[in-house]
Amino acid sequence: MTRWAPGAAGRLREAAMDLFASRGFDQVTAAEIAAAAGVTERTFYRHYADKRDVLFLGQSAYVQSFVSGIEPLPEGAGAMDLVAGALKSASELFPDERRELSLVRHSVITANPALLERERHKSAELGDTLAELFRGRGIPEPTATIAAGSTVTIFNAAFAEWLHSDRPMSEITAGMLASLRAFASA
């Protein structure tokens, strides 16, 4: 059993993850998730639009976690400062306690091509959002797009490592950013 916040939404999410992981995403219904969480199907639909929503509902919090790291930075901050701020802030969304649930979610998603496509699409959307934000901060093109793409690349690579590591996410993203700098200035 994976642990999660109390309340119906959390219990539903926990039950869904356990069912998805043990039986496969396609083989599980919303009614079964509700039953496993000890709530009615109606309660399920009060919290989630459908069973896929259980896996992807955190998307706006996810994007916001990057944005929050940029907002406090002074006007005139350079692209590298914005990228570092976004990565540091987003790392905080993934404390060590979240690793176990993230691993289950990751295994469910990678086992299902349609979910994996969706996950990758979300990364692309994050890149678009960040590029727009960077342009709004006065970073010219193509630097804005490249800096945004680098942010997403680093975050995804760091996340993949974090899942199977015991190091904190913030340390891994910082190390990867240093690797980018070393690689690009070689």
Distance between CA atoms of residues 66 and 150, nearest Å:
13
Residue 1 lies near a second copy (rule: CB under 8 A): no
User: At its nearest, how many Å lie between a second copy and the CB of residue 79?
Assistant: 5
Q: DSSP letter for 6, please.
A: S
Q: Which stretch binds a second copy (CB under 8 A): 5-13, 28-36, 93-101, 142-150?
A: 142-150
Name the one range near a second copy by CB under 8 A: 28-36, 86-94, 102-110, 145-153. Answer: 145-153
Contacts of 105 (CB under 8 A, 6+ apart): 17, 55
Residue number, 2 or 143, with CB nearest to a second copy: 143
The residue count of the chain comes to 186
x/- site string to a second copy, residues 152 to 171, per CB under 8 A?
A: xxx-xxx--x----------
Q: Does 65 bind a second copy (CB under 8 A)?
A: no
Write out the H or E segment, with its range, that includes residue 56: helix 51-56
CA distance 98 to 118: 21
Among 124, 132, 138, 171, binds a second copy (CB under 8 A): 124
Give the pair of three-digit tokens for residue 111.
Answer: 């086992």
